[in-house]
Structure 1
Amino acid sequence: MSAVRQDAWSAEDDLILAEVTLRHIREGSTQLAAFEEVGERIGRTSAACGFRWNSCVRKKYEEAISLAKSQRQKRSYYKKQSPLSGPQVAGVAAQELEQDAYKNDGATEETLSIDAVIRFLRQWKGGLQESSRQYKLLEKNLREKEEELARLRSENERLLKEVSEVKTDYHVVNDDYKALIQIMDRARRLAFLNEEDEELKTRFKMDANGNLERIE
């Protein structure tokens, strides 16, 4: 069993649907039979073909439908005539039917061809407009991305500069800290030496008679 199509109807699908349906109307067949034939040809269900015909395609071929119905009525009329009417009636009927068929086929073919071209041009125009819209949208997105990239690059350069400055400040502070530690260490050692010198110095005091005596 072949897969049933679910895609959108194309101009060619509509053209096939119109041609087959008009032929069935002209020959006195049913539209259901036409939809079944079309469905087999284009891979769709008869229900889908019927819905497409009644909702969209039919209104475009009102004149062709009227011609097809007129030809069908003439066929039916001449079939009901008595065989005793003679070959003259049959000849006239055949001639009229042939003329109607030629006119109907010519008008239908011309109408279908013009409509198909118009639909194709409209679809092409719509596709071109959509492509143009998509192109402009992509172009806008590209500009926005380029602006965003430039902003990020500028931000990155600024951050790198700040990091470099922080590193420089860190080295300066670190050097100052080391120098301060060295100064504090020297001061501590100097204070310790001064205390030792004070302890080593000889101490004297004056007694009641005014004499100096050594303090141990």
Structure 2
Amino acid sequence: MSRAFGDVAEAYHRLRSVIPYAALDWLVPHPCHRAVELGAGTGIQTHRLTRYADEVLAVEPDAKMRAAFTVDGVKLLAGTAEDIPVEDGTADLVVAFESWHWFAQPAATREVARVLRPGGTLAVAWNLPDIHDDWTAEFWSPVTGAHDETRRPGRLILSATEPFATPQYRVLRWTWRRHVDDLVALLGTYSRVIALDPLERQEFLDHQRSLVPADIVDARFTTICWRTVYKGA
């Protein structure tokens, strides 16, 4: 299913929210000479990451997403979290923005450990809608609905046998003023909506639009951040 995002690459790039700088300040180690971003997509998060690392390698499996990648000065690599095309022990940071829950485990975690130098950081983060009343609960249901616990957005689950320190956790809350049209279009970039057939998708989005109480709304979001240090083999 993660490959289906390429079918909405333009909308994904235009509408998806970026991870706040306050989150990156906490997630990225200092100094950071080489950062590897997994599931980099169109580069909407990569642009900010370049402010923190001397070198950024962006890894993305979907050819359509790579075709829409827009960040200059970044080496874009075809690859997956389970087969990262980066040399052993060369990264100060491996980061996944809004993508960790798609990766096959424990293969991805083992690949991250291979790529990181001892003392390097694994960081993951998601922007998730903040549910605070009835309309937001129903509107965002495709994003916040039931997930398998090991594949739930916002969770970092590591086996006790993995060579990482106990993960640290931080939450940031913020608002994003959006027109209802953009909010509905944003909803259309999530996997459960992409998976609907075209007629069903349009009917669903029309219904979701009717839930929004105003043309302009201050949408509340929560950024969930995890970081952990690779202890070495």
Q: Same fold (TM over 0.5)?
A: no
Q: TM-score, normalised by structure 1?
A: 0.22
Higher relative contact order (CA 8 A, sep 6+): 2
Larger radius of gyration: 1
Q: TM-score, normalised by structure 2?
A: 0.21
Q: Which has the higher strand share?
A: 2
Q: Which has the higher helix share?
A: 1
